[in-house]
Amino acid sequence: MMHRVLRFERAQRLNEYIKNIAPGIFIQELFTQPGSIGAICPSSRYLARRMAQQVPRDTDGLVIELGGGTGVITQALLDQGIAPKNLMVVEYSRPFVRRLRERFSDVNIVHGNAADLCQLVPPGRKIKAIVSSLPLCSLPDPLTQLILQQWQTLLRENGVAIQFSYHLRTPKWRHYLTPKHTCSKMVWANLPPANITTFSFSEPTLPHSAP
């Protein structure tokens, strides 16, 4: 009986955290650093689940999430079966980093810049996927190009890059990539609707997304 009470109390605390604290931080960061947020509200669980479903299931390696934010996509990746030891989250905002470390104590949460990704990746680690929530459309062009060049360098031999955008048309940053395979999916249940694009820079074909 006591174990049930403790589990219930822990669940309540987690729900209060997600409902009250994380959105509050999002709103604060939206006003103080609008260029680094790029959205009017956190990603929905529908978008997060679809993003996580694009990660290949039949290969091993490190999954890198860029822009962990409130942790919605981080949780979806863990729910998808990514082991905490195989997940690295890179987040630029200190408030988000603190909350992510509190919520995901067994995940490697890195306070860093996605433009320095090649230096942040542990040496010798094979990369399975880069899952990005970066607001590429609102970043300066030179910075966007630098970030995308590192994706292509890190994923040249294997792995995929997964990025969502709120643009229904092809965003300008797509022209900075030279993938061998692409796959796009719309998530209408997100606010605003989002387009998920998965890129592969090597010969293996892209994973099929779940319905």
Predicted local confidence at residue 30, as pLDDT: 40
Give just the sign of the alpha carbon dihedral 14, 16, 22, 25.
Answer: negative
For strands 160-165 and 194-200, give the pairing: antiparallel
Alpha helices in 104-156 (DSSP H): 117-120, 141-154
For strands 108-111 and 87-91, give the pairing: parallel
101 touches 126 (CB < 8 A) = no
- If the chain, 211 residues long, is cut into consecutive pieces of 10 residues, what is the mean pLDDT of each piece? 52 44 42 44 81 91 95 96 97 94 97 95 94 92 94 92 86 88 89 91 61 49
- 11: its two tokens: 């669940």
Residues in the chain: 211
Count of beta carbons in the 10 Å neighbourhood of residue 106: 9
With a CB cutoff of 8 Å and minimum separation 6, the contacts of 99 are: 21, 22, 25, 70, 71
Omega cis (within 30) before 42: no
Residue type, 131: V
pTM score: 0.77
- 115: its two tokens: 């433009």
Predicted local confidence at residue 15, as pLDDT: 45
Predicted local confidence at residue 9, as pLDDT: 57
Helix count and strand count (H, E) for the chain:
8, 7
Alpha helices in the chain (DSSP H): 2-16, 22-32, 34-37, 45-53, 72-79, 94-103, 117-120, 141-154
Predicted local confidence at residue 144, as pLDDT: 94
109 touches 91 (CB < 8 A) = yes
Predicted local confidence at residue 170, as pLDDT: 80
Of 32, 72, 54, 89, the closest CA to residue 191 belongs to 72
Q: How far apart are CA 196 and CA 194, in angstroms?
A: 6
- How far is the first Cα of the chain from the last one, in angstroms, to the nearest whole number? 39
- 92: its two tokens: 């630029």
